[in-house]
Amino acid sequence: MAKIFCFLTDRHKSMVNDVISCLKSNTPFCFLGSESASYHEYYKEIIIDHIKIKEKIELLYFDPKFGDDLSAIINKELKMLIYPL
């Protein structure tokens, strides 16, 4: 994470840390947006990598531009919890 953070301004580091803190809270839900699509994608990748690698937390996330819709992903994950392989 430190290597990635070296490419962010202090303002961007603060925003990324705020999102990570929110996702680790009792209400782990937030929206991430930016006026610049490239920042939005960059922030998303930084946050996902941090949570998966550093926090070792499994994630359920989706990108509405690709693949199944959110309900299909949630239903698939719920089936795996109920009927594990």
- 22-76 tens-digit pLDDT: 888 888 777 777 777 777 788 888 888 888 888 777 776 666 666 667 778 778 8
Block residue for tokens 């690698």? 53
Amino acid at 51: I
What is the band of 2 on the pLDDT scale with cuts at 50, 70, 90?
very low
Q: CA 78 → CA 8, 47, 67, 70, distances in Å? A: 36, 24, 18, 12
Taking the model in full, what pTM does it have?
Answer: 0.55
3 CB-side CA count, 13 A: 2
Block residue for tokens 């992903």? 73
Alpha-carbon span 78 to 83, nearest angstrom: 8
